[in-house]
Amino acid sequence: MGKEFRGQSRKQTVGSSNKSKRSAHSLKRLKLSFLDILCEDLWKKSKNTSKNTYTEWYTERLKERAKERQRASKWIDSVEVERFSDDIL
């Protein structure tokens, strides 16, 4: 009897752990979908047209991020050149 009791309590613990993982995962999905809707809504309001979509907003955001990366890499290159020239002197 004692062994059965331990096995049952163990199953309950494992089950509750899986349940909390599932609920955390579903909450994360819910948050992401809410953010998608919010971003799309903000995009439409900023452009004042209903034909713009989240996809267009996302592609523009990717372009902006690429520009930011280019600026950052140029800055890093310039800093490395300065360090290299300081090392030579």
pLDDT for the residue 47: 62
Model pLDDT for residues 49-74, shown as the tens digit of each residue: 555 677 787 888 889 889 988 888 88
- d(Cα 39, Cα 54) in Å, to the nearest integer? 7
C-alpha distances in Å from residue 71, one per residue of 39, 62, 80: 25, 14, 14
67/76 Cα distance (integer angstroms): 14
Whether pTM > 0.75 for this model: the answer is no
Q: Is the CB of residue 35 less than 8 Å from the CB of residue 50? A: no
Every domain of the chain and the residues it spans: 2-88
